[in-house]
Homo-oligomer: A and B are copies of this chain.
Amino acid sequence: MTTTAAQTFPRKRGANGATPRNDADEIGLDALVGHAGYAVRRFQIWIFQDFVKTLGNVDIRPTQYSVLTVIGANPGLSQMAVAKHLGIERARLVHLLDSLEQRRLVKRVRSKTDRRSHALHLTAQGETALAKFKRLAAEHERHVEDRIGKENREQLLRILADFT
Give A contacts to B, CB under 8 Å. Answer: 1-2, 6-15, 24, 27-48, 51, 62, 66, 69-70, 73-74, 77-78, 80-81, 83-90, 134, 137, 140-141, 144, 148, 152-153, 155-157, 159-164
How far, in Å, is A92 (CB) from chain B's closest CB? 10
Task: Give chain A's interface secondary structure class.
Answer: helix
- Tell me whether A84 and B164 are in contact in the complex, defined as CB-CB below 8 angstroms, given that A89-B2, A141-B34 are known contacts: no
Tell me if A163 and B85 are in contact (CB < 8 A): no
27 contacts between A and B (CB under 8 A): A1-B88, A2-B89, A2-B90, A10-B84, A10-B86, A10-B87, A10-B163, A12-B164, A13-B162, A14-B161, A27-B85, A28-B70, A28-B73, A29-B73, A29-B85, A29-B164, A30-B69, A32-B66, A36-B141, A36-B157, A37-B144, A38-B66, A39-B164, A40-B47, A42-B87, A43-B160, A44-B44
